[in-house]
Structure 1
């Protein structure tokens, strides 16, 4: 991934197409910022997720990264 790819992803919600006319976050939704993988900078809509689901982390399908068509694994943020 290059700098142009990173800029394209930043501030966009995971699951929205890059050519979506409104790829950004919606009001009254809760988002987690993805950090530490090929989807860095994307927002993940976690509205309605139970705390246990958030604590488990997530495996997201992606065409970016070392193995296109694979999954990007994200652990929950720990303070």
Structure 2
């Protein structure tokens, strides 16, 4: 999906910041814990910097938001 999006985004006219778009991934702080079953989170977080370097020349920025644990009523109910 990223490959297809980059093809289209690279054709955009640059804005006043000379950028053509931004790709924002969503991951988790679990990406950095090395826990079993969390490979997908680590993969998303791990590809951010190489991808940003590869497509930055086209004016496309890449970032990943890694969400943490939130204290919610749902979590409190499991005690």
> What's the TM-score once normalised by structure 1's chain length?
0.26
Indicate the structure with greater helix content: 2
> What's the TM-score once normalised by structure 2's chain length?
0.26
